A and B are shown apart, each in its own frame.
Chain A
Amino acid sequence: MVEFLEFTLEGLSAGMIYAAIALSLVLIWRGTGVLNYAQGAMAMFTSFIALEIIYVTGNYWLGFVSALAAGLVIGAIAERVIVRPVTGKPPLNAVIVTIGLLILVEGLAGLLYGSNNRSFPPAFSIDGLSIGSVALGITRNDIFTGAAVLLAAAILALTFRYSSIGLRLRATAFNAPVARLLGVRVGRMLTLGWALAGLLGALAGLLVSPSTFLNPNSMDTIFVLGFTAAVIGGLESPAGAVAGGLILGVVLSYAGGYLGSEVVNLFGLAALLLVLMFRPTGLFSSAQARRV
């Protein structure tokens, strides 16, 4: 029983990280209609920036904020320089360009920081928490991670639904020419979408890097699982991203704990296919407006 509790809590805490990546993917998809394959790599890069700031200033939170700011900037630059030229072109061009960006960013990180694993400080203590004598298997840092991701998801959801910026972002993704006619500064919305997604990705990187150690490839697997989580939840909603992340995290945790590491990815695939068989556009997607 204790084991089950531990597996569940671990799954939820891992799932929060997948949810963070999923959130940034959902944001870019809903805001700009592109899938950003470099999302994980960009998160890795901003984490390196955080690490440098932390070394120089000795202050974790300064590094934290710098990473978020760097995420904004890098996201915006990526959109303007690399993604904007391919808007209006065949949609797969944007995929290839982001793949090129992924390779570029990982290569750049390798060049600047080397391939070695770097220790990354957690925001809070990693000592296990317990109720009485029962170790729960989660730490203060895990709780902070969960809270941060939920807060980000809530802000994102509220922004999309209730604010004018959210409306403009959605309008840009849905039909950019019409949105332009209605006075939406489409270019700015695209850049903003990517900048915010960069911030979310940076957050994910900060939260997960302590437990993956930081190296140019450390976000690769996290990205794949975050992408899967986004698809499970449906790319339409922040709530879906969080739900998808948590579900995936828990399923993988049970698989790894009860059955072994070889089947973890197979179970991830099974979970994905199962969801997509019944809901081809993910769990939380709204009615199929575009398809007959």
Chain B
Amino acid sequence: MIRSHSARLAGVVAGLAALSLVAAACSSSSSGGSTSGGSSKLTASAPGITATTITIGSHQPLTGIAAPGYDEIAPSSNAYFQYVNAHGGIYGRKIVYKYLNDQYNPTITATDVHQLILQDGVYAIFNGLGTPTHLAVAPFINSEHVPDVFVASGCECWNAPSTLPDTFGWQLDYIREGKILGAYIAQHFKGKKIGYFYQDDEFGQDGIKGLNYEIPKSQVVAEESYDPTNTKIAPQVAALKAKGAQVVVSFSVPAFTALLKLTMLGLKYNPQLVVSDVGSDAITLAGLLAEFAKNKTAGFGNSLTQGIITDGYLPSLGDTSNSWIALFHKIYEQYLVKKKFPFDGNVLYGLAVGYTFVQAMFKAGRNPTRQDLINAVNAGIPQASAVAPFAYSATDHNGITGAYIGIIKNGALVQTTPVYVTDDTPTGAITTYSSPQPTAPKSGIPSP
């Protein structure tokens, strides 16, 4: 009975087709953007996402040579996440932040990230800290198609959408920073002799690159590097002095900025210090220098930091009228004081980058896939606590694009110029960014 056979066959095929259409419609997650119909169910739309939680991972130096200061960042981000969790979470889901201690050792970083992705199945890697450490794992993370968002490093190597499509930077990268500082120096210290003091790695070398794009070669009389495992920097500082540098630009971490200052005291050498944001946190510096007062004069550390010129891409901690500082201080008081952290630049950094992540997650949608998060960042994140906008787009994975110049007075950073934005090319212009910074939302949580 051929007719009934083919009819039955047609019926079966039609039924299967209908079933598969229905199944496809039900099981496929929404492809980005918010779905209409407010009370759609929360599903396990991606690895690391359940109906109630979003699990993200990170690698951080909690112990070891890179730990000083940087060990505050992840707990600070976590504090912001806890605040968000306590106020409704992300579309009702709580953020679970699992950060592992890699001791700034790339082998341990690789093991940690393999564990987070292959065993724990985290949704994304967030704020992986360190240039050599993260470089060891960025290709792996991308090969697993896991979002690698807001890397805690100013290397411009995170801006590589063709080779690392899932990786995004966040902070002002070192080349941009060098350009902004360099332009300021070229303008305000015309004719003076400039000396460089820099950490002998990506951070310092990129900073010098940026400086050299802006400062005339004839002005640079000395370039002295230091190795972070060796605190005996006196020979380099003596060399700077011997070459007569009147302005010393330092791309150094706080410990070495402080050592630079102390060594200069020992050499009776008093040039103008211009320091990268990485190493100029006034509170950290004052703490490191505090014990050197002859008679324990109060604020001695502060007096040693007086007059240091630096840049800032987040509002100054001393600017208590700033809505973001007020918000973050409130969260610090609630969650971080008990950890005995001072409210310093690292805490501010951690809170600010946590805020950006929450912005991105809201944009990714109610039931996001991993690609949804990538798309959300590629579509651009609105400026929030940073003083300059993000560069995020499908072709640019750099983060904050500019900073202001300031001077440390009485232990706090005072802004002295408008915000400048630029790119990281040798000839890209440095322009003033005069749009006012958006105010922090009253709830403290970005709007979805």
Minimum C-beta distance from A63 to chain B (A): 11
Closest residue of B by beta carbon distance from A256: B235
Q: Is A85 an interface residue (CB 8 A)?
A: no
Q: Is A217 an interface residue (CB 8 A)?
A: yes
Which residues 223-271 of B sit at the A interface, judged by CB distance below 8 A?
224-227, 229-236, 238-239, 241-242, 254-255, 258-259, 262, 265-269
Which residues 323-350 of B sit at the A interface, judged by CB distance below 8 A?
340
0/1 interface trace, chain A 238-257, chain B, CB 8 Å (1 if under): 00000000000000111111
Q: A122-B292, A212-B231 are in contact. Are A128 and B71 (CB under 8 A)?
A: no
Q: A10-B235, A213-B258 are in contact. Are A137 and B267 (CB under 8 A)?
A: yes
Q: A117-B68, A119-B291, A213-B255 are in contact. Are A7 and B235 (CB under 8 A)?
A: yes
The answer to whether A261 touches B238, judged by C-beta atoms less than 8 angstroms apart, is: no
CA distance A252 to B231 in the complex (A): 12
Interfacial chain B residues near A254, Cβ < 8 Å: 235
Interfacial chain B residues near A107, Cβ < 8 Å: 63
Q: Is B288 an interface residue (CB 8 A)?
A: yes
Closest residue of A by beta carbon distance from B66: A115
Q: A6-B238, A126-B292 are in contact. Are A256 and B266 (CB under 8 A)?
A: no
Interfacial chain A residues near B267, Cβ < 8 Å: 6, 128, 135, 137
CA distance A117 to B228 in the complex (A): 13
The answer to whether B290 touches A119, judged by C-beta atoms less than 8 angstroms apart, is: yes
CA distance A137 to B263 in the complex (A): 8
The answer to whether B200 touches A261, judged by C-beta atoms less than 8 angstroms apart, is: yes
CA distance A107 to B67 in the complex (A): 13
Closest residue of A by beta carbon distance from B284: A117
Closest residue of A by beta carbon distance from B290: A119
Q: Within the complex, which residue of A116, A255, A258, A264 is in contact with B71, where a contact is CB–CB below 8 Å?
A: A116
CA distance A111 to B64 in the complex (A): 12
- Kindly name the residue among A137, A212, A258 whose own CB sees the greatest number of chain B CB atoms within 10 A: A137
Which residues 292-307 of B sit at the A interface, judged by CB distance below 8 A?
292, 294, 296, 301
Q: A256-B232, A261-B227, A264-B227 are in contact. Are A127 and B291 (CB under 8 A)?
A: no
The answer to whether A7 touches B238, judged by C-beta atoms less than 8 angstroms apart, is: yes
Q: Is A160 an interface residue (CB 8 A)?
A: no
0/1 interface trace, chain A 113-146, chain B, CB 8 Å (1 if under): 0111101111001111010000101110010000
The answer to whether A252 touches B255, judged by C-beta atoms less than 8 angstroms apart, is: no
Minimum C-beta distance from B194 to chain A (A): 18
Q: Is B161 an interface residue (CB 8 A)?
A: no
Q: A110-B63, A216-B63 are in contact. Are A10 and B71 (CB under 8 A)?
A: no
Closest residue of B by beta carbon distance from A217: B65
Q: Is B287 an interface residue (CB 8 A)?
A: yes
Q: Within the complex, which residue of B71, B232, B292, B340 is in contact with A14, where a contact is CB–CB below 8 Å?
A: B232
- Kindly name the residue among B63, B238, B242, B288 whose own CB sees the greatest number of chain A CB atoms within 10 A: B238
Which of under 10, 10 to 19, 20 to 34, or 35 or more describes the interface residues of B? 35 or more
Q: Is B314 an interface residue (CB 8 A)?
A: no
The answer to whether A253 touches B235, judged by C-beta atoms less than 8 angstroms apart, is: yes
Q: A3-B239, A260-B225, A261-B225 are in contact. Are A115 and B288 (CB under 8 A)?
A: no
Q: Is B62 an interface residue (CB 8 A)?
A: yes
Interfacial chain A residues near B110, Cβ < 8 Å: none
CA distance A164 to B69 in the complex (A): 50
CA distance A206 to B238 in the complex (A): 24
Q: Within the complex, which residue of B229, B241, B255, B266 is in contact with A126, where a contact is CB–CB below 8 Å?
A: B266
Interfacial chain B residues near A120, Cβ < 8 Å: 291
CA distance A262 to B200 in the complex (A): 7
Interfacial chain B residues near A221, Cβ < 8 Å: 229-231
Interfacial chain A residues near B234, Cβ < 8 Å: 6, 10, 13-14, 137, 253
Q: Within the complex, which residue of A135, A142, A211, A262 is in contact with B227, where a contact is CB–CB below 8 Å?
A: A262
Q: Is A215 an interface residue (CB 8 A)?
A: yes
Q: Is B374 an interface residue (CB 8 A)?
A: no
Q: How many residues of A contact B (CB 8 A)?
A: 51
Closest residue of B by beta carbon distance from A260: B225
Minimum C-beta distance from A145 to chain B (A): 12
Q: Is B289 an interface residue (CB 8 A)?
A: yes
CA distance A242 to B266 in the complex (A): 24
Which residues 372-424 of B sit at the A interface, judged by CB distance below 8 A?
none
The answer to whether A128 touches B265, judged by C-beta atoms less than 8 angstroms apart, is: yes
CA distance A16 to B62 in the complex (A): 32
The answer to whether A127 touches B200, judged by C-beta atoms less than 8 angstroms apart, is: no
CA distance A262 to B204 in the complex (A): 13
CA distance A215 to B235 in the complex (A): 23
Q: A7-B238, A128-B268, A257-B239 are in contact. Are A264 and B290 (CB under 8 A)?
A: no
Minimum C-beta distance from B341 to chain A (A): 9
Interfacial chain A residues near B241, Cβ < 8 Å: 6, 135
Closest residue of B by beta carbon distance from A117: B68
Interfacial chain A residues near B254, Cβ < 8 Å: 117
Q: Is A166 an interface residue (CB 8 A)?
A: no
Closest residue of A by beta carbon distance from B71: A115
0/1 interface trace, chain A 1-42, chain B, CB 8 Å (1 if under): 011001100110110000000000000000000000000000
The answer to whether B262 touches A119, judged by C-beta atoms less than 8 angstroms apart, is: no
Which residues 23-48 of B sit at the A interface, judged by CB distance below 8 A?
none
Interfacial chain A residues near B227, Cβ < 8 Å: 261-262, 264-265
Q: A217-B65, A264-B227 are in contact. Are A121 and B291 (CB under 8 A)?
A: yes
The answer to whether B269 touches A135, judged by C-beta atoms less than 8 angstroms apart, is: yes
CA distance A264 to B233 in the complex (A): 11
Q: A128-B268, A261-B200 are in contact. Are A10 and B294 (CB under 8 A)?
A: no
Known: A119-B288, A261-B225. 8 other contacts (CB 8 A): A2-B242, A3-B242, A13-B234, A115-B64, A115-B67, A119-B291, A135-B241, A215-B67
Q: Pull 22 A–B residue pairs with CB atoms less than 8 Å apart, ordered by A.
A: A3-B238, A10-B238, A114-B71, A115-B68, A116-B68, A116-B69, A117-B68, A117-B288, A119-B289, A127-B265, A128-B267, A128-B268, A128-B269, A135-B241, A210-B292, A211-B262, A213-B231, A213-B255, A217-B64, A220-B229, A261-B225, A261-B230
- Residues of chain A touching chain B, judged by Cβ–Cβ distance below 8 Å, are 2-3, 6-7, 10-11, 13-14, 58, 107, 110, 114-117, 119-122, 125-128, 130, 135, 137-139, 142, 210-213, 215-218, 220-221, 252-258, 260-262, 264-265
- Residues of chain B touching chain A, judged by Cβ–Cβ distance below 8 Å, are 62-65, 67-69, 71, 200, 224-227, 229-236, 238-239, 241-242, 254-255, 258-259, 262, 265-269, 287-292, 294, 296, 301, 340
Query: Which 5 A-B pairs have CB atoms at the shortest separation, nearest pair first?
Result: A257-B235, A115-B67, A119-B291, A256-B235, A121-B291
